[in-house]
Structure 1
Amino acid sequence: MELTTVWFLAIAGLWIGYFVLEGFDFGVGILLRVLGRDEAERRAVITTIGPVWDGNEVWLIVAGGATFAAFPEWYATLFSGFYLPLFAILVTLILRGVALEYRGKRDDLLWRGRMDTLITIGSVVPAFLWGLTFANLVRGVPLDASHEYVGSLGDLLNPFALFGAVAFTAVFVTHGAIFLALRTTDDLRRRANRLATRAGLVAAILTVGFLAWAQDLRGDTGSIVLAGLAAGALGVGLVANKLAREGWAFMGTTVAVGLAVASLFTALFPAVMPSTLDPQSTLTTVEAASTPYTLKLMTFIAAIVLPLVILYQGWSYWVFRKRVTVEPVAVS
């Protein structure tokens, strides 16, 4: 297998890891005010992701760095064409991180309410814009013969991309609700479970519609099979959630997110950015790749570092695996 293909698969794997892990804490952030009826419950909701949210974002950093090193022309074209959405994602992720870190610095309900608002905004905006971005990657964007983006922001706001953005957000809300049901107790757990069932039905309809549309645009046998398996895994997860088997439910949504993202990358390959103007202008893995020496060096480094990162993150999830209870909180 050529190293360009290996690194395309590696980057796809990094994005799968990012969306699986960051997806549920996006969902938790979106649901912070929905399920957190008072300060004690909102604190419990945030505690479920407190030890892991920053580690989840490492996958985004590594995915971006790997894309820059392995496929510099893909990176350049992507950031020139998607500058505004990606900049908005970056800003809102920063605001979200600041809010999560500084929320508990003052015993003041007004202060914490403002931080909660930033957490919500910093969760829903990236979830929506990542869906918009990846839907446009699959659909294609206007590229000229030099692989330069020649469209406008309006070209990114097409019906398919907007539908994908809503579908991504709905799936993350469901993923987050099931995670909260898995990690909390008593009434908060029951409400998260019920909300996951309702949100999951909406997410299932949107996901099936989006994946079917994506396969119609650019699908092949492999991506169609993965998309079907993703829909099936989501259904299994929702059934398990209905039976209050949150562990199996979370596994179901995890597999569904992973397979759905894998189906999009499979539909995309060997292109990295299809052109809607001329098929000859489509940017492929071979055209976007770094030199063979760079790819070999990256492969050697990744073989050493990536397993260590996975082991550390797995250990952190194991340490903080216990359910979170709602404790009374005294604030001024």
Structure 2
Amino acid sequence: MQLHDVWFVLIAVLWTGYFFLEGFDFGIGVLTKLLARDRQEKRVLINTIGPVWDGNEVWLISAAGATFAAFPEWYATLFSGFYLPLLLILICLILRGVAFEYRVKRTGERWQRNWENTIFWASLLPAVLWGVVFGNLVHGVKIDAHKEYVGSVLDLLNPYAILGGLVTLALFTFHGAVFASLKTVGDIRERARRMAAVLGPIAAVLVVGFLGWTQADQGDGSSLIALIVAVVALVAALGANRLGREGWAFTFSGITIVAAVVMLFLTLFPNVMPSTLNESWNLTVSNASSSPYTLKIMTWGAAFATPLVMLYQGWTYWVFRKRIGTQHLAKAH
């Protein structure tokens, strides 16, 4: 295995970690409208991710940075061709972070309601758009001989990519509901379990449809194994949720996301962005990568920094591992 193959795997790991962790973040944001009955319960849901949401986004920054350094041609084509959806995601992430901090800065009803609406929409839109982006990434887009995207924004809204957006929205919301049941106490915990029981079958139908389409289109034996793992884990998550085993339900819902993302990267390799115009114009791990010397320096840096990041993030989750409820909230200002 050459270094550009290693970095493809590392970037896949970063994206997988991001969707596993940020997935329940987005799900909690969506559930502030679907699950919470009043402002106190919205505060409970937001506080379940309050200490960790910004750390989860480190995985996104690392994935984008690694792509820029290891595969500059991939980065350039991806961020220029998918400029509008990625810009919308970036705006949503900025507004979402601001909303978490500013919603409690004033007591006005309109002020807090507007920021809570911002949290909802800035969680829902990225949850859909990430699926659209990765759907197009795997399915292929119009790339010419100069490694430039020559399609339009409307070309990105094809049926496969739209189904991918629905899959990520459903999976992330289900993941968030399971996380809410794991991290809360009282009535909201029970309602989160019931919400997960409703969302799970919807997610299962969409996942089977999307991953089955992917397998039929360009899958192999390895991707088929990942597909089976994803479906079995989702069924196991539903069973564990029904039995009230929230820890196992969260573990299995996370495995579903991991297996689904792994399957997408398995079907993508050795390409990083396939061209629908001509297969010889595909961006691959070899023709889109940096020099071997650059990859070697990056490998040493990653070997040093990655364990430190994972250690401090794991420590954060350990410190804030307890359940919370409305009785644990400080009085509003």
Q: Judge same fold: TM > 0.5, yes or no.
A: yes
Matched residue SS, 2:146: coil
The 5 Å alignment of 1:19-98 reads 19-98=19-98
Deviation at 1:147, TM superposition (A): 1.4
Q: Deviation of residue 108 (structure 1)? A: 2.6
Shift of 1:218: 1.5
CA distance in 2, matches of 1:330, 1:306: 39
Determine if contact 1:182/1:246 at 8 Å carries over to the other structure: yes
Instruction: Report the secondary structure of 1:272's partner residue.
Output: strand
Any residues of structure 2 matched to 1:7-26 within 5 Å, and which? 7-26=7-26
Q: Which residue pairs with 1:250 in the alignment?
A: 250
Residue 110 of structure 1, CA deviation: 2.1
Identity %: 56
Letter in 2 for 1:135: G
RMSD: 1.1
- Equivalent-residue separation in structure 2 for 1:320 and 1:330 (angstroms): 20
Counterparts of 2:306 and 2:105, CA distance in 1: 34
Q: Take 1:58 and 1:101, find their aligned partners in 2: how far apart are those partners?
A: 18
User: Which sections of structure 1, spanning at least 5 residues, go unmatched?
Assistant: none
Q: What letter matches 2:166 in structure 1?
A: V
1:281-311 per-position Cα deviation (integer Å, ceiling 9, x unaligned): 1110000000000000000000000000001
Q: Secondary structure at the match of 2:272?
A: strand
Deviation at 1:129, TM superposition (A): 0.4
Alpha-carbon displacement from aligned partner over 1:120-169 (angstroms, at most 9, x marks no partner) = 11100101000000000111001111111010011100000001100110
In the other structure, the counterpart of 1:181 is 181
Cα shift readout 1:226-265 (whole Å, capped 9, x = no counterpart): 1111111111011100111000000001111011100000
Aligned equivalents of 2:74, 2:218: Cα separation in 1: 19
- For residues 56-95 of structure 1, the C-alpha deviation after alignment (integer angstroms, 9 at most, x for no partner) is 0000000000000000000000011100000000001100
**SS of residue in 1 equivalent to 2:34:** helix
SS at match of 1:105: coil
Distance in structure 2 (CA, Å) of the matches to 1:222 and 1:330: 53
Aligned residues of 1:138 and 1:218 also touching (Cα < 8 A): no
Deviation of the 1:104 alpha carbon: 1.6
1:148-187 equivalences under 5 Å are 148-187=148-187
> How many Å separate the matches in 1 of 2:80 and 2:219?
26
**Residue 304 in 1 paired to residue 312 in 2?**
no
- Unaligned runs of 5+ residues in structure 2 are none
Distance 1:321 1:331, change over 3 A: closer
Q: Deviations over 1:191-244 (max 9, x none)?
A: 000000100110011001100001112211111111111111111011100111
Partners of 2:193 and 2:113 in 1: how far apart? 25
With normalisation by structure 2, the TM-score equals: 0.98
Q: Secondary structure at the match of 2:205?
A: helix
What amino acid is the match of 1:295? L
Output the TM-score relative to the length of structure 1.
0.98
In the alignment, residue 142 of structure 2 is paired with which amino acid?
P
Aligned-pair distance for 1:105? 1.4
Distance 2:220 2:78 in 1: 24
Write out the 4+ residue segments of structure 1 that deviate beyond 4 Å after TM superposition.
328-332
Q: Which residue of 2 aligns with 1:107?
A: 107
Q: 1:261: which partner in 2?
A: 261
Q: Secondary structure at the match of 1:287?
A: coil
Q: How many residue pairs were aligned?
A: 332
Letter in 2 for 1:32: T
SS at match of 2:324: coil
In 2: Cα distance, 1:78 partner to 1:330 partner: 46
Give the drift of 1:45.
0.7
**CA drift at 1:330:** 5.7
